[in-house]
Structure 1
């Protein structure tokens, strides 16, 4: 009796690892970039909605199941690649060739770097095709995080600070303007008296003395 052999390309969604082909890897990275741009990634992983979007997108494209744990494991491996290649680019003497998508350096620099880290030899041969995409996914300098929360929080804090500053100086500014603008002799005041007037009004405003306007005539 013949036995039906299960295709090695048919993954088990309960397994934590699968074999990725180039098309699947490219699609996975593209889906991650898309959800990063939607603000569905934290510093370390995607939100629940983000993972659902990625999983559904891959399943719709390749007509087979993808487990979230499989996707997380692959993401972790890609992040290790990202960290390794980033350290290589940060090494003195290395640059980035955007057209070839690879690191560039003199032969002597490559040889010295590979002696210190054998894993970098593969980058000398093949570069890292997905470097720019992985940079967008894993870089800590993204303009937005979960649904733009940090950006909105920063904007809120800036507005709150500005509001507090305005509240502190509002009373002093208003009272100063009122005194100077409404005084019948403000155009004829000597500069010394005007300066003294402003200082007294400002000081009394900060102390909460509402009777400042009534006593400013004592200056003259």
Structure 2
């Protein structure tokens, strides 16, 4: 199946909505999210898809997101907010592509929805019953969704609100995985 830009945009819109509704768990989207996503794509694009189509495209988009995220964390790469693409010198690109062949697909590619992909896939470092939250995009600082931290024992959920900010208007830092730190978003 060939995905069009219109289909991809409908998919990303639907997935952002499903994450906001809490229909994504640590292991992926719930069946209800797949059904709603299929319906939204059908309504916008007049094409009938199955769960496997959504699942396959999710894998492709996740791979794209993590490839970009890894590049932006590597020395020599940056983000052009006007062009919405990863930028680097030719030497940096060639060296990186030599050891990361998938990166060739991202070179000079317009990535309109990176912020949304970061929202959909960027918080997947949470494990078990611990964290479930949306993070600000590393590119735009745009915040999505709700913020909550599960206590880990399943007994309570702590919602973060503007009252939880520090003196600079930043939400508390949350540890997520080995060494990575993120600011929780406002409720």
Question: Normalising by the residue count of structure 2, what TM-score does the alignment of the two structures yield?
Answer: 0.64
Deviation string, structure 1 residues 61-81 (Cα, Å, up to 9, x no partner): 223311111111111111111
TM-score, with length taken from structure 1: 0.55
Aligned residues: 138
Counterpart in the other structure of 1:81: 64
Q: Which residue of 1 aligns with 2:156?
A: 156
Residue number among 68, 76, 86 corresponding to 1:93 in the alignment = 76
Match of 2:38 among 21, 44, 55: 55
Call closer, same or farther: CA 1:21–1:109 in 2, change over 3 Å.
Answer: same
Gaps in structure 2 of 5+ consecutive residues: 125-131, 135-145, 159-187
Matches of residues 98-117 of structure 1 in structure 2 within 5 Å?
98-117=81-100
Partner of 2:172: none
Cα shift at 1:123: 1.9
CA distance in 2, matches of 1:157, 1:29: 27
Bigger share in strand: 2
Structure 2 vs 1, CA of residues 124 and 71 (structure 1 numbering), >3 Å: closer, same or farther?
same
Unaligned runs of 5+ in 1: 1-17, 159-220
The SS at the match of 1:103 is strand
| Structure having the higher Rg | 1
Give the structure with the larger helix fraction: 1
Q: Is the 8 A contact 1:85 1:128 kept in 2?
A: no
The equivalent position to 2:113 in structure 1, one of 97, 122, 130, is 130
Indicate the residue corresponding to 2:4 in structure 1. Answer: 21
Using CA pairs below 8 Å that are at least 6 residues apart, which structure has the higher relative contact order? 1
Aligned 8 A contact 1:89 1:96 in 2: yes
